A and B are shown apart, each in its own frame.
Chain A
Amino acid sequence: MKKRMLAAIMAMTMVVGMLATGCGGSNKETSDGGDIEITVATRYSNDNPDENYYREKVEEFNALDNGITVKMDNIATESDYLDKVRTSFANGDTPNVFLEYGGSRCLDYLESDALVDLKPYLEENDNEWYDTFYDNLWNQCEYEGYDGVYAVPFKTYMIVMYYNKDLFTEAGLEPPTTIDEMLSACEVFKSKGILPFQTGEKDTYRFGHFNNNLIIKTLGVDAVDDLASRNLAYDSDEMIGTYQVMADMVEKGYFGDNILDTDSATENEMFKSGKAAMKWDGSWFIANDLYGTDFYDHVGVVAFPYGDESCKTYAQGGSSDMFFVSKLDKSEEEIEASVEFLKFITSPDYYQGLDEVAQTIVPVKFEKSDKSPENPLLDEVIAIQSEVTDMRTDVQNYDSESHMLDTVRSSLQGLAMGDSAETCGKNIVDRMEEYSAQ
């Protein structure tokens, strides 16, 4: 009796196994031996127009008769993706091409001589490839003390201020251009019982981005570089000033209710249901959440307000996603194939097609085709971008310590828990000391 049950389970296991592998077996590509196979790791496994387009284009690349087969390994969530990429680097079995976000988190790869310098390829044929990109993006792909270019930008972003047009009209307000205007708008909304913001600070990048903008648009882009080189301290008066703005906003309830218990998905829905008047977010918000919805027409967009006139034309932005090429245990052919693939995926053609299905700001200059739909909100963002004279991405991305992003964001989260601006600065500096004992 028991034996029969065991046998039954075994049989079931085998059947399921055959089904599972059978399903898979059918769509396995029949590689004709000569192809070079490269693996490309990204986070683009989502079911949205932009990432579906990416995967389609990769299939298109595979269909080309160029002797290269790309195997995709896509994992959407950041922590899981990093688990896999970091593990692959730890045991030397890396993907040929991988997505990362630059800055200090990629410095270790460079120090260990794991990355291909792409400069020679970019400069081939009189800078042919190099010139297709916007110039101001390259600073993120270069590292001090290392010659060369170690990444190509793939996606770009800029943090802007979205606002609910209806609520602003009702309140008789103009969208804010300065921090002070923003604060007084907050006061007006608050007094009318409308949430000025509803921040999803459960996701720490929310305050992180806000603070980035305060630094960039009050202290300027040089302050970002000074923070990274330790010429400006995280507990300096200037920096405490930026925390103070946020601490005051927390105290007055401008950021919304129970912000620590609100995640970014809820923040988006609150804004989209007209419950909050303003929302700072990346340019991605248009394609991800607004385009094609009824709410689209009710949204306006302006540059993130500035705190100091001299910083008016600075912005938080740059490349968000970048592609790197690994040279750990990789043959010359594989590296050539990887570059070939990158050229394909960053070509103006690629972005022209992308613009037809999912519109956002991109790192490459291209001609809009007449198939691209109207998107006035994005046009606004592009107009704002054209005014920008200098950009920095996440402030801690320029830091040489990889724990800084988390350290600063966690301490900023403390502001929402009632920490004073001074405590916030002290927390950051204390944590830095703990780590520098390393």
Chain B
Amino acid sequence: MKRKTGRVFAYIFAAFWMIMTIFPLFITILCSLKDNAGITLGMLSLPKKLMWSNYTQAFESAHIIQAVGNSLFFAMASTVLTIIIGMLAAYVLSRKKFKLRGFIYTVFLVGVMVPIHCTIIPISTLATSVNGKNTSWFLILVYTAFALPQAIFLFTGYLNGVSKELDDAARIDGCGELSLLFRVLIPVCVPIISTEAILAFIAGYGELIFGMIIMSDQDKYTVARAMLTFTGGYKVSLGPIFACIIVAVIPMIVIYLIFHEKVQDGMLTGAIKG
């Protein structure tokens, strides 16, 4: 009896919050089909006339497809790097005992606190001095570097919760360091890896400042920069901005769902925590 009320309550809350969070999607879709007057004077009303031209503008003026392609590439590459590099570091920080361990871990932690605007000028200087301006690899490294501290933080925390008995068993089976990490620990860490993959991907995909400072060529614009096409000095075209957002959000939803399935899979394998 009690369980049932709990369940009903859970469903009600789940539905309530779903409405709270899904309606922006509908508003964004609505707004992507309206002109400025329609948006500013009645954001929630239905469009009087469907402005498909907003999408034409998004495709033709902002080259949104190309921008989505660029952002996908930058975000995916940096996500992959973040996970590999982050896992390597987290493994050492969680499993090895050495003098500077605590210090290194704390220093990495500082990385999550740095205000972004303090880093723009030094990083841009660095980009100039290593010929990294207007290159994809440099931007990918920047994204990786900024996602890394959080990744190390999350991975180390998670690995600390994974029983060391697992390592011992693996070692008895003759596993070396690499195979211990890749064959034994990484599969156990799938939930947190997928989670960080989502977070790192989202961060890279929507990033504006570095994408803008480092890249100058239009064919390397990121999504956020392409959307600036419609924000001017004394005039903003809101409709096309919303159209860009809709186009950009589709690949993101797909990737999110793919990765979050992996988190769920962790539920089945996750029987090893001590």
Q: Which A residues have a C-beta under 8 Å from some C-beta of B?
A: 2, 5-6, 9-10, 12-13, 16-17, 19-21, 23-25, 27-28, 39, 43, 45-48, 51, 71, 73, 75-78, 80, 83-84, 87-88, 90-93, 263-266, 268-270, 272-273, 281-282, 284-285, 288-289
Contact (Cβ within 8 A) B213 A2: no
6 extra interchain contacts, Cβ-Cβ under 8 A, other than A25-B219, A87-B213? A20-B73, A24-B219, A28-B219, A45-B228, A83-B209, A90-B124
Contact (Cβ within 8 A) B220 A16: no
Contacts of A270 in B (CB 8 A): 41
Contacts of A76 in B (CB 8 A): 228-233
5 contacts between A and B (CB under 8 A): A23-B219, A76-B229, A91-B124, A92-B128, A93-B133
**CB of A396 to closest CB in B, whole Å:** 18
Contact (Cβ within 8 A) B233 A78: yes
Contact (Cβ within 8 A) A47 B237: yes
Q: Which of B124, B128, B220 has the most C-beta atoms of chain A within 10 angstroms of its own C-beta? A: B124
Contact (Cβ within 8 A) A93 B232: no
Contacts of B209 in A (CB 8 A): 80, 83
Q: Which stretch (B7-15, B64-72, B102-110, B144-152) binds chain A?
A: B64-72
Within 215-274 of B, Cβ neighbours of A (below 8 Å) are at 216-217, 219-220, 225, 228-238, 240, 262
Partner of A265, one of B187, B212, B238: B238
Contacts of A71 in B (CB 8 A): 216-217
Known: A13-B80, A83-B120. A269 touches B133 (CB 8 A): no
Contacts of B217 in A (CB 8 A): 24, 71
Instruction: Give the CA-CA distance A6 to B84 in the complex, in Å.
Output: 10
Contact (Cβ within 8 A) B77 A266: no
Contact with A along B26-49 (1 / 0, CB 8 A): 000000000011001100000000
Within 168-208 of B, Cβ neighbours of A (below 8 Å) are at 186-187, 190, 208
Partner of B219, one of A27, A73, A83, A289: A27
Contact (Cβ within 8 A) B219 A84: no
Instruction: Give the CA-CA distance A281 to B235 in the complex, in Å.
Output: 12
Nearest B residue to A287 via CB reads: B235
**CB of B217 to closest CB in A, whole Å:** 7
Contact (Cβ within 8 A) B186 A77: no
Nearest A residue to B238 via CB reads: A265
Contact (Cβ within 8 A) A288 B235: yes
Contacts of A27 in B (CB 8 A): 219
Nearest A residue to B219 via CB reads: A24
Instruction: Give the CA-CA distance A10 to B40 in the complex, in Å.
Output: 43
**CB of B131 to closest CB in A, whole Å:** 11
Instruction: Give the CA-CA distance A90 to B117 in the complex, in Å.
Output: 13
Partner of A269, one of B36, B121, B225: B36
B57 in contact (CB, < 8 A) = yes
Contact (Cβ within 8 A) A80 B234: no
Contact (Cβ within 8 A) A87 B234: no
Contacts of A46 in B (CB 8 A): 229-232, 235, 237
B136 in contact (CB, < 8 A) = yes
Contact (Cβ within 8 A) A73 B133: no
Contacts of A23 in B (CB 8 A): 66, 69, 219
Within 48-106 of B, Cβ neighbours of A (below 8 Å) are at 57, 61-62, 66, 69-70, 72-73, 76-77, 80
Contacts of B69 in A (CB 8 A): 16, 19-20, 23
Instruction: Give the CA-CA distance A260 to B231 in the complex, in Å.
Output: 20
Partner of B228, one of A20, A80, A281: A80
Contacts of B136 in A (CB 8 A): 17, 21
Contact (Cβ within 8 A) A285 B234: yes
B163 in contact (CB, < 8 A) = no
Contact (Cβ within 8 A) B208 A269: no
Nearest A residue to B76 via CB reads: A13
Within 105-134 of B, Cβ neighbours of A (below 8 Å) are at 120-121, 124-125, 128, 133
Contact (Cβ within 8 A) B230 A273: no
Contacts of B236 in A (CB 8 A): 265
Contacts of B212 in A (CB 8 A): 75, 80, 83-84
Instruction: Give the CA-CA distance A16 to B205 in the complex, in Å.
Output: 13
Instruction: Give the CA-CA distance A19 to B76 in the complex, in Å.
Output: 14
Contact (Cβ within 8 A) B120 A87: yes
Contacts of A12 in B (CB 8 A): 76
Contact (Cβ within 8 A) A91 B41: no
Instruction: Give the CA-CA distance A285 to B234 in the complex, in Å.
Output: 8
Contact (Cβ within 8 A) A272 B37: yes
Contacts of A28 in B (CB 8 A): 219
Nearest B residue to A27 via CB reads: B219
Contacts of A45 in B (CB 8 A): 228-229
**CB of A288 to closest CB in B, whole Å:** 4
Nearest B residue to A157 via CB reads: B234
Contacts of B41 in A (CB 8 A): 266, 269-270, 273
**CB of A17 to closest CB in B, whole Å:** 4
The 10 A-B residue pairs whose C-beta atoms are closest, nearest first, are: A24-B219, A47-B61, A91-B125, A13-B76, A20-B69, A266-B40, A46-B232, A17-B73, A288-B235, A73-B216
Contacts of B124 in A (CB 8 A): 87-88, 90-91, 93
**CB of A142 to closest CB in B, whole Å:** 24
Instruction: Give the CA-CA distance A13 to B83 in the complex, in Å.
Output: 14
Contact (Cβ within 8 A) B213 A83: yes
**CB of B58 to closest CB in A, whole Å:** 10
Instruction: Give the CA-CA distance A78 to B262 in the complex, in Å.
Output: 42
Instruction: Give the CA-CA distance A16 to B73 in the complex, in Å.
Output: 6
Nearest A residue to B187 via CB reads: A2
Contact (Cβ within 8 A) B228 A289: no
Contacts of A2 in B (CB 8 A): 186-187, 190
Contacts of B121 in A (CB 8 A): 87, 90-91
